[in-house]
Amino acid sequence: MKVRIFVGLNAKVSDRISILPQDIIEKILTFMPIRDASRTSILSKKWRHCWKGMPKLVFDESLINVSSDIEEVKTYKLVITISHVLLLHRGPISELCICITDAFIKNEFDLIILHLSWSKNIKKFIFKVYRYGEYYKLPCSFLSLQGLEHLDLRCCEIEVPSMFNGFSMLKSLKFYEVNINATMLQRFLISCPLLEEFTWIGQYVTDFRGENKFTFADLCKCLPSVQVVNISGVYIEYFLAGVMSQKLPTSLVYLRVLVLEVCFHEQDQISSTLCVINSSPNLEKIKLKMVGLYVEQTLTALLDPQDYSGLKLDHLKELEITSFHNYAPEMEFLKLVIAKAHVLEKARIELCTFVSVDKENKMLRDLLNLPFPRASPTARFIIENEAN
């Protein structure tokens, strides 16, 4: 948003910016970086302290301009700036974003979070403080942010005490490379009764390894109101393990969007994925990424569509599969969805780069010559190649 301020020769016209309504001033500042917003203090007396009441604060490397090549110097300068802004800030902070890479100063960030914990007004918190190979361990004071509705944590480590009261207002939780063991994750989730969206993405080994299994059956008990689930990376092997029945003990009646990474050469992951889908009667979108090393000869008998004759996808409108190899279990899954999704509007299949043109043509022929009618004859199919 560009803000243009015209100053004329007439004294009354020149002070036009001072007569702007307070809500307009706040709206203008909302679209400005903190560094630029603080500079508006020189415009007039009315603007002098307005930036200190900004409800949305974003702290990242663009906040400072330091010529030094030493990352520690840049980070220290940034931390000091964050502390200074927070100390001068007046009024509630509804949205806060702190994203710093390459280095961090642990003790200073502990103090910053302690300062923030006194506020009950922060509704959205995005926090990423990362140095390669290190996780920032959140202090206990972080758990005092009781007003949170949206929490996005990246490259952090969390310990949840047994006396944790939970975030009673939390609706959206996103973990990216967050290190937390199964017991503490369960303790964390079960204490957030209003949670509607849960995302956990990561590629590194976590404390889950070696513990008792924490499957999707356990997860759904902690998320009775969840509407969006997105799990990928190393975590998926723990959630999609051991569930071999047709349905989960607890139905995910509110689930609308399911995003998973699935290895279709693992029988338990295939059956677990179908179990989750079969236990979510109101699903509107399914997005799967096929992962793992495939050996086509061993995959012919892992999925029998006859076992899922009772599967219902009455509300599914969109299906997306990426890294599709066109192997037997994947194709059988696709056919199963086509046969069951009566209101399907779009199916997008992104082929793996290893799929040859001949295999792609064969796949198209198979989809055109299905031995059964498609449940949704108007569904639009989009076949793309990963390399394009």
Q: Which residues contact 337 (CB under 8 A, 6 or more apart)?
A: 286, 313, 316, 319, 344, 347
Q: Residue holding tokens 């992104």?
A: 350
DSSP per-residue string spanning 30-82:
HTS-HHHHHHGGGT-TTTTTGGGG-SEEEESGGG-------HHHHHHHHHHHH
Rounded to whole angstroms, the Cα distance separating 57 from 63 reads 11
pLDDT for 16: 64
User: Taking the chain, what is the end-to-end CA distance rounded to the nearest angstrom?
Assistant: 34
How do strand 318-324 and strand 346-351 relate by DSSP bridges?
A: parallel
* Torsion angle of C-alpha atoms 141, 183, 173, 345, degrees rounded to 10: 180
Domains of the chain listed by start with CATH number: 1-54 (no CATH), 225-388 (3.80.10)
Are the C-beta atoms of residues 219 and 188 closer than 8 Å to each other? no
What are the angstrom distances between the C-alpha of 127 and each of 15, 175, 259, 307, 327? 40, 10, 23, 45, 40
Average pLDDT per consecutive 10 residues, the chain (388 residues; last block may be shorter): 46 56 65 63 59 76 61 72 78 84 72 86 88 82 93 91 90 92 88 94 64 74 93 74 71 94 83 89 95 58 66 93 87 88 92 81 75 79 78
**By the 8 A CB rule, do 353 and 387 touch?**
yes
- Give residue 354's pLDDT: 80
Nearest Cα to Cα of residue 340 among 372, 381, 303: 372
Quote the CA–CA distance of 214 and 43 in Å, as a whole number: 57
Query: What's the sign of the alpha-carbon dihedral 293, 317, 152, 164?
Result: negative
What is the CA 146 to chain-centroid distance, rounded? 20
